[in-house]
Amino acid sequence: MHVSIDWAVCCGAGMCADAAPRAFRVIDAGDGRRRAVVSGPAADDVLCEAAYACPTLAIRLIDDDGRAVYPPAPPATGGR
């Protein structure tokens, strides 16, 4: 599973690092804010737990076939 963190919405509070301390850590981003980075591999279920814990949906999980695992895509509206 591929993991990325959207720094535009990461608030640096660190719930991801609490849920998966081997996979995420929070750093000083150098602009006066703290943000999360991916720090190592983790099992898919651990990555999902960390993504679910993120209050801002900053963690994106992509499977090996390139499909979004999390956050889920919004439902189709049917155009009406």
Span interacting with ligand SF4, options 8-16, 37-45, 61-69, 72-80, rule CB under 6 A:
8-16
46 sits in the region (left: phi over 0; alpha: psi -120 to 50; else beta) called alpha
29 binds ligand SF4 (CB under 6 A): no
Contact (CB, 8 A) for 15 and 54: yes
One-letter amino acid of 59? I
Nearest-5° Cα angle at 20, 22 to 13: 110
Give whichever of 23 and 80 is closer to ligand SF4, judged by the CB atom.
23
15 binds ligand SF4 (CB under 6 A): yes
Cβ of residue 29: shortest distance to ligand SF4, in angstroms? Answer: 11
The residues that touch ligand SF4, with contacts defined as CB under 6 A, are: 5, 10-16, 26, 36, 53-54, 56, 58-59
